[in-house]
């Protein structure tokens, strides 16, 4: 497991695309811990148009902090 900081995909509302609310991804946002080798689609429209896939450690200027319950 690795730690995820704000600005990284694992803490972004777009991480997972259509599956952003899956329990595994919600847990990453809550714990800020993730397996570094997982890969998920990015749901930011500009990136999704290119079918971008990212790891929890990736990041871009489109970062949007995910709300955590
Ligand atoms: S690539 Fe950018 S917009 Fe997509 S999940 Fe990562 S930080 Fe968020």
Task: Flag whether pLDDT at 43 surpasses 70.
Answer: yes
Query: Is residue 69 scored above 70 in pLDDT?
Result: no
Token pair belonging to 16: 């997972």
With H, G, I as helix, E, B as strand and everything else as coil, classify residue 45: helix
Summarised one tens digit per residue, pLDDT across range 44-60 is 999 999 999 999 999 99
- To test ligand 1's pocket by mutation, which of 41, 54, 56 has the most ligand atoms within 8 angstroms of CB? 54
48 CB near ligand 1 (under 6 Å): no
Residue pair 57/2 in contact (Cβ under 8 Å)? The answer is yes
pLDDT digits (tens, 9 = 90+) for 13-37: 999 999 988 999 999 999 999 998 9
* Average pLDDT value over all residues in the chain: 95
Interatomic CA distance for residues 46 and 24, integer angstroms: 24
């Amino acid at each position: 497991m690795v730690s995820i900081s704000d600005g990284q995909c694992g803490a972004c509302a777009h991480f997972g695309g259509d599956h952003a609310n899956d329990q595994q991804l919600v847990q990453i946002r809550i714990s800020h811990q993730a397996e570094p080798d997982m890969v998920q689609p990015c749901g930011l429209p500009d990136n999704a148009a290119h079918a971008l896939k990212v790891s929890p450690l990736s990041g871009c200027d489109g970062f949007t902090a995910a709300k955590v319950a």
